[in-house]
Structure 1
Amino acid sequence: MGQSIITLIKKEFLSEWRQRYALNGIILYLASTIFVVYMSFKLKAGAIDEPTWNALFWIIILFTATNAVAKSFIQESSGRLLYYYSLAKAEAFIVSKTIYYSILMIAMAMIGLLFYTLFMGSMVNDLPMFLLVICLGSIGLASALTMVSGIASKAPNSSSLMAILSFPVLIPLLLIIIKTSKSAMDGLDRGVYLDDMLMLLAINAIIIAVSYLLFPYLWRS
Structure 2
Amino acid sequence: MQKITTLIKKDLLLEVRQQYTFYGVLLYVASTIFVIYLTLGKPEDDVWNAMFWVVQLFVCVNAVAKSFLQDSKGRMLYYYSIAGARDFIIAKLAFNALLMMLMSFLSLLIFILWLDNPLLHFWAFAGISLLGGIGFSLIFTFLAAIAAKAQQQAALMAIMGFPIIIPQLLLLGKVARAAFAPVLQAGLWQMVMLLIALDVLIIILAVILFPFLWKD
Pairwise CA distance, 1:190:
6.2
Q: Distance in 2 between matches of 1:117 and 1:27?
A: 15
Kept in 1: contact 2:61–2:140 (CA 8 A): yes
**Percent identity (aligned):** 40
Q: Does 1:121 align with 2:121?
A: no
Alignment of 1:100-179 (within 5 A): 100-179=95-174
Q: Distance in 1 between matches of 2:32 and 2:180?
A: 22
Looking at structure 2, the residues matched to 68 and 161 of structure 1 have their Cα atoms a distance apart, in angstroms, of: 17
Distance change (3 Å), C-alpha of 1:190 and 1:88? farther
Q: Is the 8 A contact 2:37 2:114 kept in 1?
A: yes
Structure 1, unmatched stretches of 5+, are none
- In the alignment, the residues of structure 2 paired with residue 7 and residue 159 of structure 1 have an alpha-carbon distance, to the nearest angstrom, of 28
- Looking at structure 2, the residues matched to 68 and 217 of structure 1 have their Cα atoms a distance apart, in angstroms, of 25
Give deviations 1:122-156, integer Å, cap 9, x for gaps.
11111221111111111100000000000000000
Deviation string, structure 1 residues 47-101 (Cα, Å, up to 9, x no partner): 3211111000110011011001121000000010011011111111111111101
Deviation by residue 1:138-197 (Cα, 9 ceiling, x = unmatched) = 110000000000000000020111111111111111111111111122243365411111
Q: Does 1:53 align with 2:52?
A: no
Work out the CA distance in 1 between the residues paired with 2:40 and 2:86. Answer: 45
Equivalent residue for 1:12?
11
Alpha-carbon contact 1:124-1:187 (below 8 Å) kept: no
Secondary structure in 2 matching 1:156: coil
Q: List 4+ stretches of structure 1 deviating above 3 A.
A: none
The runs of 5 or more residues in structure 2 that have no matched partner are none
Alpha-carbon separation, structure 2, partners of 1:185 and 1:202:
24
Q: How many pairs align?
A: 216
* Alpha carbons 2:60, 2:136 under 8 Å: kept: yes
Question: Counterparts in 2 of 1:140-219, with a 5 A limit?
Answer: 140-189=135-184, 191-219=186-214
TM-score by structure 2 length? 0.97
Contact 1:126–1:185 (CA<8 Å) still a contact in 2? Answer: yes
What is residue 67 of structure 1 aligned with on the other side?
A: 62
Which amino acid is the alignment partner of residue 80 of structure 2?
Answer: Y
